[in-house]
Structure formats: C-alpha cells, structure tokens
A and B are shown apart, each in its own frame.
Chain A
Amino acid sequence: MKARSKRLMLVGGGVALLFAAVALVLSAFQQNLVFFHTPTEVSEGKAPTGKTFRIGGMVEDGSIQREADGVTVRFAITDTARVIPVTYKGTLPDLFKEGKGAVVQGRLEGGVFRATEVLAKHDENYMPPEAAHAVEQAQKAAQTLSQ
C-alpha cells in the first residue's frame, strides 16, 4: 500500500506540474494565440500593423458598397466601439452579411485595411428561420417601444 500511494503522489504531482507549466506557457504566448485582433486593439496600436494580420468583428450595418468594377467591395468592420474601413477584391463567403461576424486578413494601409482574405464567423446560435424571424420582430418592437 505504501508503494502504491507513493506512485499516486508521483503521477498526481507530475500531472499537476505539467498542467501548471503549460498554463504558464500559454499565458506567456497569449498574444500569439489569438486568431484575430479587435478594431479597438488595432486603433490602440496593439495589433502588429507592420505585417499581415487579421481583424475580427461585425460588418457594420449599411457599410457594404460595391465598386463599379464589380469585384471590389468596401465595408467597415466594428466591435461597436471602433470602426475600421476595409477594401477587398474577390468573392465573399455566403454567410458574409451586414450585422454578422467576419474576420478579414490583410494589411493596414493609411487607415484603410486592404484585405486579401475574408472569412465569415458564425455564432453559436442555431435556430429555424421562423424563430429567427420572430426574434427580429421582437427586437424591432422593442426598438419602437424604446423610441
């Protein structure tokens, strides 16, 4: 029994140490583990603006504009606090919509983000179209009430 509890201490202690070590490493590399930066981080200069990076947020309502050439799109990405204007040349994913999440990859050039890749970000909500419609109606009703 003595040898067994000694082994239990060894295995338990080893695993605990390992978890602690990994937690430290992960918190040290926090910045490198994020897939995208928020518009607020970008405007505060926390994003690696010198090279290609990603910005994630919502596509601002009413911001999508197509250029005359038909392939260039202008829109703005926001985290409700800050807004970053984006230009992109290429096809957009189906789920890319105003008011929905998106992640853009590219570089910042003179205040405008020139995207080379646009990804749509889906949220964790799954609902049938009727329910989505009902939610929309309820939100509209709430807005009119508050006005």
Chain B
Amino acid sequence: MTNPERGRSLLRFAAPQNFYPLAGRLAPWFAASAVVLTAVGLWLGFFVAPTDATQGQVYRVIFIHVPAAWMSMFIYLVMAFWSAVGLVMNTRLSFVMSQALAPTGAMFCFVALWTGALWGKPTWGAYWVWDARLTSQLLLLFLYFGFIALTRAIEDPRRADRAGAIIALVGAVNVPIIYFSVQWWNTLHQGASVSLTKAPSMATTMLTGMLVMALASWAYTLAVVLWRVRPMILERERHTEWVGAELERAAKLSQTAGGRA
C-alpha cells in the first residue's frame, strides 16, 4: 500500500468493534439511495422507456430481471471472496459478511428465475426449459440454499464458517458457467445485451432504466447486509467487553425513550 497511514485506518474496520458502528451509520444512507434509485429506475422503466418492437410491453420485465440476475451472481462471488479471505487470514468478520450476504443473494436469484419464467411464457411459449443458462441459474439458487442450511445447521460457529466457506468457494465455479453459458452452448436464453466487450444492443432509455435499477439493487444489498451483519456481530462477540458496553448503552437509550413515551 502506498499510503500506510490510510491503509491502516481502513483496515481498522476489519475489527468487529469498529465495523459495528460504521455499519450502523452507513446502512440508512444506502437504504435511502435504494429507495430513490428504485423510484427513478421504475419510473424510467415503466413510463419513459419505449415499448420493444418485437416483444411489446412484456420486455419491461428486464428492469427487474436483469439487475436481479446480475446481483445474484455478483453476491455469490463476493461471498466466495470473503470466504477465501476468512480461510486465509483467519479474520472473524469475513465469514460473518459472507453469511449475511447469502439470504439477499438467494432472494435475487429467486426473483431472477421467477420473473424470467413470467417472461418466458409469452415470449418463448414456455415457463421453463432445461437450457444451460436456466439450469445453471437454478443450481445457483440451490447453492445459496445449501450454504444457508449448512451454516445454520452446524452448532460450532468455527466449523460452520469453514463448511460454508468451502461451499461458497466450490460453488463459485458455477458463476462463470451461468454468465458464459449463452456463448459456450446453444441456449434458448438470448445472449447478453450489455457487456464490457461490446456496445449495448438496446435503446438508450431502456439501458439507462436498467442500469439505474442495477444501482438500486446494489444500494439495497448494501443496506440490508449492513443491517443484517450488526446483530450477527453482537451474537458472535457477546462475551467481549465492547458488546457489553454497547448493550448497556442501547438499554439506557431505550429506557429514556420509554420514559418519554
């Protein structure tokens, strides 16, 4: 790192007692951005963007389907990243982060599959086909379920962390398979309209709406995960001094609030 002072100050937040208040301060901002971005994105998607020449109105599902599908893949990669960091560095917070991400990833994965099915019926003529894209995305949902079930089923948190980390790392293989499935094999699912390697093949207002919705799903994920990680940190660290002090402070706050009411 070029600036050791700055590096140290950021690494400070790897410690649970520093990350806990930071998460609490950041979450409302991300939540507020998520609300604003979703409102703007849906307005662009449903009122500003034109209808599609071949599909008509039904294409508007992309404003939810595509950001959800992107997010479901990205969250799994982030989970795998934190799992690897946890395994290598033995950091306490990393495993907690990957476990806090899993339910949101599973939710986005389900939304992508569900909206895709609703779109598939009028467009393809079938809710579901077993092509490589759809099947590998379904596998991702099962990986999320497996990760959540396994980390919840093992009592000892250290063993639960390790078992979950291994599922997260092994399952990460599936993410490039989902992404490239439409290039590697003949699939019914169409290829990517938006990618880093070529110009997007969709009208500008449609693209803008979709990207705003993608940002909204980022903000939503950050807000929800930061909120979810806080009680998880408290539970893990319940025997430490700082959690005792934190709980005392919270109890005092609620007492004064109760007295006022």
Total chain B interface residues with beta-carbon distance under 8 A: 40
- Residue with the highest number of chain B CB atoms closer than 10 Å, among A14, A35, A96, A118: A35
Contacting residues, chain B, for A147 (C-beta < 8 A): none
Contacting residues, chain A, for B51 (C-beta < 8 A): 128-129
**A33 near B55 (CB under 8 angstroms)?**
no
**A126 near B125 (CB under 8 angstroms)?**
no
Query: Is residue A66 within 8 Å, beta carbon to beta carbon, of the partner chain?
Result: no
Known: A122-B55, A127-B52. A35 touches B132 (CB 8 A): yes
Residue among B53, B55, B124 making CB contact with A121, cutoff 8 Å: B124
- Extra A-B contacts (13), CB below 8 Å, given A95-B55, A119-B129: A4-B89, A11-B169, A15-B84, A18-B173, A92-B125, A93-B125, A120-B124, A122-B123, A122-B124, A127-B53, A128-B53, A129-B52, A132-B53
Contacting residues, chain B, for A118 (C-beta < 8 A): 125
Chain A residues numbered 70-96 whose CB sits less than 8 Å from any CB in chain B: 92-96
Contacting residues, chain B, for A92 (C-beta < 8 A): 125
Query: Is residue A56 within 8 Å, beta carbon to beta carbon, of the partner chain?
Result: yes
The distance in angstroms between the C-alpha atoms of A132 and B246, with both chains bound, is 61
**B188 near A103 (CB under 8 angstroms)?**
yes
Least CB distance from A136 to B in Å reads 9
The distance in angstroms between the C-alpha atoms of A33 and B136, with both chains bound, is 11
**B125 near A120 (CB under 8 angstroms)?**
yes
Contacting residues, chain A, for B190 (C-beta < 8 A): 121-124
Closest chain B residue, CB of each to CB of A31: B185
The distance in angstroms between the C-alpha atoms of A147 and B130, with both chains bound, is 44
The distance in angstroms between the C-alpha atoms of A125 and B200, with both chains bound, is 9
Closest chain B residue, CB of each to CB of A103: B188
Contacting residues, chain B, for A126 (C-beta < 8 A): 52, 55, 59, 62, 193, 201-203, 206
**A34 near B185 (CB under 8 angstroms)?**
yes
The distance in angstroms between the C-alpha atoms of A80 and B88, with both chains bound, is 53
Query: Is residue B231 within 8 Å, beta carbon to beta carbon, of the partner chain?
Result: no
Known: A33-B185, A38-B186, A126-B201. A8 touches B55 (CB 8 A): no
Chain A residues numbered 40-70 whose CB sits less than 8 Å from any CB in chain B: 56
Contacting residues, chain A, for B24 (C-beta < 8 A): none
B39-50: contact bitstring with A at CB < 8 Å (1 yes, 0 no)?
Answer: 000000000001
Going nearest first, the 3 A-B pairs with the smallest beta carbon separation are: A93-B125, A132-B53, A128-B50
Least CB distance from A36 to B in Å reads 5
The distance in angstroms between the C-alpha atoms of A73 and B88, with both chains bound, is 62
Closest chain B residue, CB of each to CB of A121: B188
Contacting residues, chain B, for A4 (C-beta < 8 A): 88-90
Query: Is residue B54 within 8 Å, beta carbon to beta carbon, of the partner chain?
Result: yes
Contacting residues, chain A, for B201 (C-beta < 8 A): 124-126
Listed by A's residue number, 16 A-B pairs whose Cβ atoms lie within 8 Å are: A15-B172, A22-B173, A22-B177, A33-B185, A34-B132, A56-B188, A96-B125, A100-B54, A120-B125, A121-B124, A122-B123, A126-B193, A126-B206, A127-B203, A130-B50, A132-B53
